[in-house]
Structure 1
């Protein structure tokens, strides 16, 4: 989840919000502006899945926490998760209530950020990043017999887990992987040496070196632990060279998602401080992934976090903006169709 940002970008964000709010009032030639799916609560970072022929959405639950804003996202002080469902894209959105509360996670300290969900072993799994009592982000997992919860958290975080934004993908052969990571407030840079270093407060700033990589690990059969050491997810350009740290329009920042189309693996993500949704493709779930382009321009507000799901023969992008509040930490989720060109590449969306 995009929740931490260098103050040098604040002015740009304010300008973008002011300009974007007006632009979003008009219709394009191809589509109308999507309406917020949820209006009684603030929701963000929607992770959408199809279970039993219905769409289930697992978002963050934004609140006004009255925490001062900082570069590490301290004001994103979320405390629980709701689950939503839809029978059809344009249909009613049902709120199934609180699926998991931070007070029911024994090891948690603060800040329940963007979650994801999966189904396997006749069980539904909710994966979530939350800071432990030492203020280090770890991945938690909770289970339920229902896609709507309530979910019961495991007594400890996933061993070896760190950072934020879990995206859990089950391949056509039944193997499940978790992709994760987010820099700045997401703490990915603090694990640069393999050990946690709290002094690494921001991205490393070495513009001419390869950008920090998102991470991937294959999940164990019980879906509760990693079955292997965490690996880097390398993103390269079409000449085979790694994207550089200074390449802010293309490099990974946070918000990973994985989907598969026609045998290709599509790794999509947020560029973070420039707010594009970008994607890269590979013939392997481990990569390396070749950068293909941007498929969504910045939304109003500060953050960009998405999911992509197929439903009834069409593909859909779930995302968020700040139409309801105008405030970057009080967001609302939306959905729109995601179109492809004949070669499988993603059409650009201009929200």
Structure 2
């Protein structure tokens, strides 16, 4: 009898321990999915959250893009290789930083490829199109949309911004320069501005890469990454203006590393719940246990504003966010 009681106690303790572990795993929602992923673009399609990140690996291995979907920001489904270089003849490596937009029942993915270092190399910013968020995406143009350096900006880190009037802009740039250009309605090219220029520089102080823009209370919030992507100083800063053209005067950092949690927090995007004033910032960071440049994971936190509309500094956590369903 004592032996049976002893085994019963062991089973109960094991079950309790298992539930505790399970509870801890559920409690910590960062990273939001497994694997090395960076530069996440978060967006909502048909009451579903989507995240399109860079597959974080050596450049020669970055030949596809995966996507992830969720109904609640906690449980994610992987959609492998929604875009593959096999469907983009000119893309050979370094496919990264996708930006997604829905236009006339089609889904357009803007992406960087080949990490070109000068105007003589083939590559730059491309566009792919699909009939569903999960793809498959195929090359829209058969060539890069932007394949040259304009105003000193390397053609990478593209973001597509739709203004209140429906006009879409391409905002992009590495090497500490950021450009904005007005897209044609079919995303096949650009519409010149009134002064006949196509690419206008809107680079704020300390800008390095990773631009993102959104509108709140009729103000244009322009965000970007500063520092070096392989270092602990990587971070996100922002500015506010009355127009997507700026001028953008840097206000300050709102997301950076925490030596107790993770390093190199940056290259983000923002998701807003369309039915409330809840904002979420999706970003990548490097775990404290990792030293490789490519060892980056995708995380999410809630983002808040003060009474004057300024973004409050974001605390990076292991907990992430609680389940949040779209209504």
TM-score (norm 2): 0.76
RMSD: 2.1
Aligned residues: 266
When residues 84 and 256 of structure 1 are mapped into structure 2, their CA distance, relative to the original with a 3 A threshold, is same
Supply the distance in 2 between the matched residues of 1:127 and 1:349 (Cα, whole angstroms).
27
Deviations 1:287-311 (A, max 9, x none): 1112111111236344621001102
After superposition, give the CA deviation of every residue in 1:196-253 in whole Å (9 maximum; x if it has no partner): xxxxxxxxxxxxxxxx531111110002322231110142xxxxxxx3xxxxxxx100
Q: Select 2:199's aligned residue among 209, 212, 230.
A: 230
Which ranges of structure 1 fall in alignment gaps of 5 or more residues?
1-31, 66-74, 184-211, 236-242, 244-250
1:79-228 → structure 2 map (5 Å cutoff): 79-90=63-74, 92-131=75-114, 135-154=121-140, 155-159=142-146, 163-183=155-175, 212-228=176-192
Taking the aligned partners of 2:287 and 2:298, their CA distance within structure 1 comes to 10
Verify the 8 A CA contact 2:255 2:265 in the aligned structure 1: no
Deviation at 1:103, TM superposition (A): 2.5
**Cα separation, 1, equivalents of 2:220 and 2:41:** 18
Gaps of 5+ in 2: 1-26, 150-154, 193-197, 317-327
Match of 1:345 among 299, 306, 310: 310
Match of 2:246 in 1: 287
Contact 1:325 1:331 (C-alpha < 8 Å) held by counterparts:
no
Deviation at 1:323? 2.6
* Shift in Å, 1:60: 0.4
Listed as ranges, the matches of 1:45-56 within 5 Å are 45-56=39-50
Work out whether residues 55 and 86 of structure 1, in 8 Å CA contact, stay in contact via their aligned partners in 2.
Answer: yes
Name which one, 1 or 2, has greater alpha-carbon Rg. Answer: 2
Mapped pair 1:57 → 2:48: no
Counterpart contact for 2:109–2:127, Cα < 8 Å: yes
Q: Distance in 2 between matches of 1:325 and 1:161?
A: 38
Aligned to 1:309: 271
- TM-score norm. by structure 1 comes to 0.71
